[in-house]
Amino acid sequence: MPRPHTLPAVKSSSLKLRRQPRQQRAQERTQQILDVTAQLLEQVGIDNLTTLMIAKELKISVGLLYHYFPNKHAILNHLGVKWLEEMTTVLEEIENMEVEKMTLVEFVDETVDRLLAVYRNQRAVLPLAQALCAIPELRHLDAEHDDLIISKMIIILRRLGFLATDNELNRLGRAFLELSHALLIVIVDQRRIRAERTLADLKHMVLVLFETHQADNRKTTRSVEAP
């Protein structure tokens, strides 16, 4: 059975906030740092982003920036955790839908639309989402993101009547994750008509994936190798 999902703990002390902001002014400054970092991520990308650039944009000294975050990766880690928090909220909303009463078409439409809303809302953080696996200090966030979506999909596919083994549903969850992530990132950068067409294509591909395997049973999928 899939294990319950919990948000990731920070893996290293070098990624933690210098101190938890308790006063309103400190909380506001922390949020400003995160907002500006997200904006710069979209403009210059992760490789070119520096703490000096962040401090300059905020019109503060690098020393003051380090008062809140010890390094660039600590800021990126905090943004990554916020991304996971929003993704968790949306997936829990999907899980709470009466999926047993939905057709596959209705489920795919609703699920993809809700995920797209997260991607559009977190657009400035998408360069980070794309590069998490390339940053050793942040790879745990990439793993948590994948585990979150796959584990939720196993539960939901069961409720939709899928009879395959957990192992096979894990494989389908992974396929859904990789397909949807790749195209949702594309969609948020496209103009309206092009985005609508790509979104329709994504929904069609996901629907075909699920329809193809909905009737699979444990007997026919028991030999699928472990992930």
Q: pLDDT class for 1, splitting at 50, 70, 90? A: very low
Give me the helices (H) in 135-165, please.
139-159
Q: Which two tokens stand for residue 4?
A: 């319950």
More confident residue, 74 or 223: 74
Instruction: Evaluate whether 115 touches 177 at the Cβ level (below 8 Å).
Output: no
For the ranges 52-56, 123-127, 202-206, which has the lowest average pLDDT? 123-127
Q: Which two tokens stand for residue 54?
A: 């962040």
Assign 2 to helix, strand or coil. coil
For the ranges 60-74, 113-127, 168-182, which has the lowest average pLDDT? 113-127
Residue 128 has pLDDT above 90, yes or no: no
Q: pLDDT class for 25, splitting at 50, 70, 90? A: confident
- Which residue is associated with the tokens 């078409």? 105
Residue 76 has pLDDT above 60, yes or no: yes
- Judge residue 48's burial from the number of C-beta atoms within 10 Å of its C-beta, 0-12 exposed, 13-18 middle, 19 or more buried: exposed
The mean pLDDT value of the chain amounts to 87
Domains and CATH numbers, the chain: 76-221 (1.10.357.10)
Instruction: Evaluate whether 109 touches 192 at the Cβ level (below 8 Å).
Output: no
Contacts of 21 (CB under 8 A, 6+ apart): 27, 29, 30, 68
pTM: 0.82
